Structure 1
Amino acid sequence: MRHWDEIVLSHLQMKELLAAQKRGETDATLSLDLNLSTVPVTLDAEGVQLQPAERLTWEDVAFINEDENSCFHLTPESINKIQAFSPETNRLYTLYPTASAPTMLISGIPMHRIKESDPHRDTLAKVQTLRPLTGQVLDTATGLGYTAIEAAKTAAHVVTLELDPAGLEVARRNPWSQALFGNPKIEQRIGDSGELICDFADSSFDAILHDPPMFGLAGHLYSADFYRELYRVLKPRGRLFHYIANPDSKQGATITRGVIQRLTAVGFTKVTRRPEAFGVVAAK
């Protein structure tokens, strides 16, 4: 059952249509919301009837199928690639399809694990490190909103921080991100997490999910000064999950060692590696 009226497609759905066409089928089942649900569609010589007012020609199918790195928003008038350029950060944000939930490319770099995992499982692995996740939760990097959405299923309130409005523009077109904009338990704030963290009172949060961009893009979010602020706003006995990188990679192992040292130096205890989630957990 579909819960969103917009149509978003990728090469993965087009390959299904082309395979059905090759088999000579006139009826098929297709997802119009990037794998959240499926609906029946009708194939004929000219194209595919998706729903009463929406249709794809076979030329449209070929056009979408040619681009394996993008998702497309379909309207009666046009087919639009879901991406946004940020003049503030000089970064291009693109919705990237997978067999599960899509991820977002930030100037070509995926913001979720897509090898040996997928964005949905990646999100669950991060959130599960802090189970049971209740009370007041801080998510330091909104992205597509998956972490905030998952946390809000059990937490009383989630505050999520996003540096770049261009990223949220992409999220608004993503079927998997809709609860980010419709769930009253989720509060969005725009700005640099390194600055916004100073706005919160001491001991504001029961848990913090810190999933920053890679070190090369946001080194200040890996600094002792920022960790000191995380410690300050965390309640006593509160817990932190810090996503880092693949601990088995040379760079990931090096960054992880530094993170553990700095977290410990500012007061965090029980700093423990969680390799299944590519990060560490710590307590106050």
Structure 2
Amino acid sequence: MAAITASMVSELRQSTGAGMMDCKAALTETGGDIEAAVDWLRKKGLAKAAKKAGRVAAEGLVGIAASGNRGVAVEVNSETDFVARNDQFQALVREIAGVALGGATELEALKAAAYPGGGSVEAAIANAVATVGENMTLRRVGALAVETGIVASYLHNAVADGLGKIAVLVALESTGNAEALAAIGRQVAMHVAATNPQGLDAHSIPADVVERERAVLAEKARASGKPENVIEKIVESGLKTFFKEVALLDQPFVHDPGKSVAQAVKEAEKAAGAPITLKAFIRFALGEGIEKETSDFAAEVAAAAGKA
């Protein structure tokens, strides 16, 4: 029997869209014959994923799993919201989040990680595609951890335990009371879900975002006839306002707009009995950044009528 090489497995994956372990099994069963392996996968229903891989998957679910000082968030997309309400799909997303919490916190590592019940995460997704008949993709994974403290979580528009449309994780470093940390952590996570900050503080805002805002402020000041020697002062003042809008620690706290998030966390130290440092956050909103296909139904009908 011909030796099964990595390049053979890769070639079969590219032509069928099936999972790595399924491709290896197919090649083993067919003695390394690529064409026969394709047929083997088709008979098993595992090659269907390839035909659906080009379809836009912008629905689905985000899932979270947290335990003490660690937490993860994943996004698994499907083509329709109908599939996202399917028990099988929900179980898939929940299991993937659990695998990520177990240590597979990089996307490719998570895809290759062992899935409960056998095979890899990638193979489990391919099997679900073949069963359900829709394209599905594991789009991203994020993880937070602190040495001492907690990772709090919040799900907006939750559809089931650990599953929803917006997932937020917040890492708080502290030796304080766990219950008090969980309370302020959840409040901050809800705040993040509502305001979608672009960074933890002013220094965390991407440089290109700051420069773009700086250019806009300068142009507005210049257009209003302000002299060049005062434009820089106007820009710096405007940037301070901008950071209060987009930097988490500077934002007005949604639960008490009279104080900033940083002030709210500082005040929570009394209940916690120790200093608290808000180290990081993750916010996954389902489908953000994915270009959804749009169709003109009237135009489609007219086109069909013209062909009739």
TM-score norm. by structure 2 comes to 0.30
Higher relative contact order (CA 8 A, sep 6+): 2
For the pair shown, which has the larger CA radius of gyration, 1 or 2?
2
TM-score norm. by structure 1 comes to 0.32
The structure with more strand, counted as a fraction of residues: 1
